[in-house]
Amino acid sequence: MTTLRFVLPLTIAASAIVTAQPFDLSRYELVDLSHGFGASTVYWPTSKAKFALTQDANGPTEGGWFYAANSLSTPEHGGTHLDAPKHFSASGHTTEQIPLNRLIAPAVVIDVTAATAKDRDYRLTPEVVLAFEKTHGTIAPGTVVLLKTGWSRHWPNAKAYLGDDTPGDASKLSFPSFGADAAKLLVEERGVAALGIDTASIDYGRSTDFQVHRIAAARNVPGFENLTNLDRLPPRGALVIALPMKIEGGSGGPLRAVALVPK
């Protein structure tokens, strides 16, 4: 059994002292929500670069021990990554400024796979959000809302995933995502911590004005894009930990996201 012990604040009273309590990871299923970065990683078609890993050392040293080290480079926005509010707001939080309670938070998962199977340009509506809440309860402030479209099944086939793989051209993309009115409900009325999705963007592929990004950024709500394994999460009850590379001044960055699902 794996047991982690976190130090909790001490409450001192005349009669008792409350000490640290163990956090038992064996009570949770750990789900990886991130695609690996490599040669097949999907990037936005207009990206001028892709992921590159350069070998600096890989072998025995003069001292007789093995040593390996690499250099890497990647655009901020590609693969499983975070969109910082700065991405679409001049005054928005940069990557390192995002509060941790927007990156580590309880999650709800809205399943729209049936709708996206019929319409690859599907956009989430307020009516679907309200129907979800009728069944599962009102989405509380500080919740990460994950939209499950089933799109990660196409990864890493860029043409199937994005709808078009013409280099340098993002005008023909086609994939589902959040709609602007649903984003307003979630961001402005529910006060969610973050929006996440298993497609390439929190705006649908054919968007030309990126309203969802702008709505979220205006309230300093980050986005988690190109997630995977959302089918392994329940509608409620999971805890998401989505920690990006802490890039000072960044508009986003590579993201290792995981979920803790109670067994």
CA distance 199 to 168: 19
Q: Which two tokens stand for residue 251?
A: 């508009």
Q: Is the pLDDT of residue 12 over 70?
A: no
Arithmetic mean of pLDDT, 64-73: 98
CA distance 170 to 202: 15
Reported as a single tens digit per residue, the pLDDT across 186-211 is: 999 999 999 999 999 999 999 999 99
More confident residue, 23 or 240: 240
Predicted confidence at residue 19, as pLDDT, reads 66
Arithmetic mean of pLDDT, 21-43: 95
CA distance 79 to 34: 8
Predicted confidence at residue 23, as pLDDT, reads 86
Predicted confidence at residue 1, as pLDDT, reads 45
DSSP symbols for 1-65: --EEE-PPPPEE-SS-EE---EEEGGGEEEEE-BPPPSTT--B-TT-S---EEEEEEEEE-TTS-
Q: Which two tokens stand for residue 50?
A: 């892709």
Range name among 20-24, 29-33, 164-168 with the lowest pLDDT average: 20-24
81, 87, 93, 213: the catalytic one is: 87
Predicted confidence at residue 18, as pLDDT, reads 54
Instruction: Reply yes or no on whether 87 is catalytic.
Output: yes
Predicted confidence at residue 16, as pLDDT, reads 47
Q: Which CATH architecture has domain 28-55+68-262?
A: 3-Layer(bba) Sandwich (3.50)
Return the SS3 of 261. strand
Give the residue extent of every domain in the chain: 28-55+68-262
Whats the size of the chain, residue-wise?
A: 263
Reported as a single tens digit per residue, the pLDDT across 130-187 is: 999 999 999 999 999 999 999 999 999 999 999 999 999 999 999 999 999 999 999 9
* Residue 124: strand pairing partners: 178
Predicted confidence at residue 3, as pLDDT, reads 46
Question: pTM here?
Answer: 0.91
pLDDT level of residue 85 (50, 70, 90 thresholds): very high
User: In the chain, what percentage of residues exceed pLDDT 90?
Assistant: 91
CA distances from 223 to 24, 53, 172 (A): 29, 26, 22
Q: Which two tokens stand for residue 136?
A: 């599962």
pLDDT level of residue 22 (50, 70, 90 thresholds): confident
Predicted confidence at residue 46, as pLDDT, reads 95
225: CB partners within 8 A, 6+ apart: 77, 80, 81, 82, 83, 196, 197, 199, 200, 201, 202
Predicted confidence at residue 21, as pLDDT, reads 76
Predicted confidence at residue 15, as pLDDT, reads 45
CA distances from 65 to 54, 62, 207 (A): 21, 8, 53
Q: Is the pLDDT of residue 232 over 80?
A: yes
